[in-house]
Amino acid sequence: MIDDAWWPRPPRDGMPFRHRVGVRGVAAGEWLRPRPGDAALLAWKARCLAAAGDWAFLALPGSEAAGAEALDVVRAALGGGPAPPSRTRPDVHPLLAASLLVAEDLCLMDVTGAEPVLVAGSVAMPSRWLLGTKVGRNLLGVHEPVPGYAAEIGRPTDRLLQRLPDGRIMARTTWSLTDDPALFQPSRTSRIAVPKPEVRDAADAAERLFVRVEYQTVRALPASGTVLFTIRTAREPLGRAAAAPWRAAAMLALLAAMPLDELDYKGVAPYRAHVVACLEQRAAA
C-alpha cells in the first residue's frame, strides 16, 4: 500500500509545475524498514529474478567490489552484520545476493567520474523501462525519456550523488498511472494513444487503473566510490489509493498543473477525463 508520505503533492499555490529533486533525510533505522507482506513479496521477487535473467539483473564487469559493499550495508541494516567473504558465492554477484534480502530493487552508480554512471542493477519491478538499455549510461542517459529531467534536475541530481556524505541517506518519491497491475513491467508497449474500451467512465478508472509509487533512497558506499540506489514499489487501484479526499484533491491539483508531455509520460493522458472524474468524486466525499 502507498504511504501517505509518498503520495504525489501538487506545486505550491501559484507556482508552475517543474521537476524537483525533492529529497529528504532518512534515519538509518528507517532505511529498508520491513513491512507487512514482505515475505510473499520476497518469494515472488526471487522467482522473478530467476526467470527474467538479464532483463532483471545486469552488472558491468568490475562492479563486484561495489556489490560486496552494498551487501554488507544491507545485511547490517537488517541486523545480520557484514557477510564474511567466505560466505559469498563466487557465482552470484553480491548485489543480486543483497537484492534477495529486501523488498527493494537495488542499483549501483559509480560516482568517481565526471558524471554518475549506472554500473549494476537488480530490478524486479521496473516501471516500463528495460534494465539493458540503462546499465552503462550516465544519469542523463538513464532518464532521457523523462520530460524536463535534463533541463531542470539533471545536474543537481548528479551533484547530490557525487557529494553525498558517508552515512547520509536521502529519499524521494515518484509516481505514475498504469493500466497493468503487474509489478514487473519492463516495457511501455501497452500504452496507447486513446483510452482502452474497458475504461469507459470514472468507475472503470477507479477499478482498472493503478497508482504506482516508487519510494527511492540513495546512500553512499565510500570504499567503492559508488552510491546504492534503492527503489521500493507500491501500487493500488486508483479508487482505493485516492479514497481519502485530501489525496484525491492533491492529485487533481497536480494533474491540472502538469503539461501534456508529462501527463503522457506518467500514463495519465489516455485516461485523463475518467481519472479526473474519479478524483473529483472522491475529493467531494
**pLDDT per residue as tens digits for the range 116-142:** 999 999 999 999 899 999 999 999 899
pLDDT digits (tens, 9 = 90+) for 214-246: 999 999 999 999 999 999 999 999 999 999 999
| Residue 206 φ/ψ, nearest 5 degrees | -60, -35
pLDDT digits (tens, 9 = 90+) for 8-54: 999 887 788 888 888 999 999 899 988 888 999 999 999 999 999 99
**pLDDT number for residue 200:** 93
Q: Is the pTM of this model over 0.85?
A: yes
The answer to whether the CB of 124 falls within 8 A of the CB of 231 is no
Confidence of residue 158 (pLDDT cuts 50, 70, 90): very high
pLDDT digits (tens, 9 = 90+) for 255-270: 999 999 999 999 999 9
User: What does DSSP assign to residue 84?
Assistant: P
**pLDDT number for residue 84:** 57
**pLDDT number for residue 145:** 84
**pLDDT number for residue 91:** 81
* Residue carrying C-alpha cell 514487473: 184
| Mean pLDDT of the 153-158 span | 91
Cite the DSSP H helix spans in the chain: 38-52, 64-77, 94-99, 139-142, 149-152, 154-162, 202-208, 238-241, 245-257, 260-265, 272-283
| Mean pLDDT of the 149-165 span | 91
**pLDDT number for residue 5:** 93
* Residue carrying C-alpha cell 489516455: 270
Q: How far is CA 272 from the centre of its chain?
A: 23
**pLDDT number for residue 188:** 60
**pLDDT number for residue 192:** 43
| Residue 121 φ/ψ, nearest 5 degrees | -155, 140
pLDDT digits (tens, 9 = 90+) for 180-206: 999 999 976 544 444 455 899 999 999
- Using DSSP bridges, classify how beta strands 210-221 and 105-110 pair: parallel, antiparallel or unpaired: unpaired
Residue 197: CA count within 13 A, CB half-sphere: 0
pLDDT digits (tens, 9 = 90+) for 68-89: 999 999 999 998 765 655 455 6
Query: What gap in Å lies between CA 179 and CA 191, rounded to an integer?
Result: 8
Residue 156: CA count within 13 A, CB half-sphere: 10
Query: What gap in Å lies between CA 275 and CA 279, rounded to an integer?
Result: 6
Burial of 56 (0-12, 13-18, 19+ CB in 10 A): buried
